[in-house]
Amino acid sequence: MTPALAQNASDRQPLPVVPPPPPEMAPFDAALEPEVTIRKREGDTVEEHRIKGKLYMIKVTPEHGVPY
């Protein structure tokens, strides 16, 4: 038997309470999350990544080959 399984219930300690995030951290902004559009084109998969509507990356995954 492993030591972790051999512990009694009385040996367990509660986990500490996680403090809230510091106030300087900005609240979640969904506009900063990337929007990804995935399209199939002639056997290739094309992913367009945008933040705030601005295209910043395109990833092409060929049907046979390495993504670029």
Question: Per residue in 32-48, pLDDT tens?
Answer: 778 999 999 899 999 99
Domains, the chain, ordered by start:
27-68 (2.20.130.30)
pLDDT at 10: 72
Please give the pLDDT value at position 7.
61
Bin 39: left if φ > 0, else alpha if -120 < ψ < 50, else beta: beta
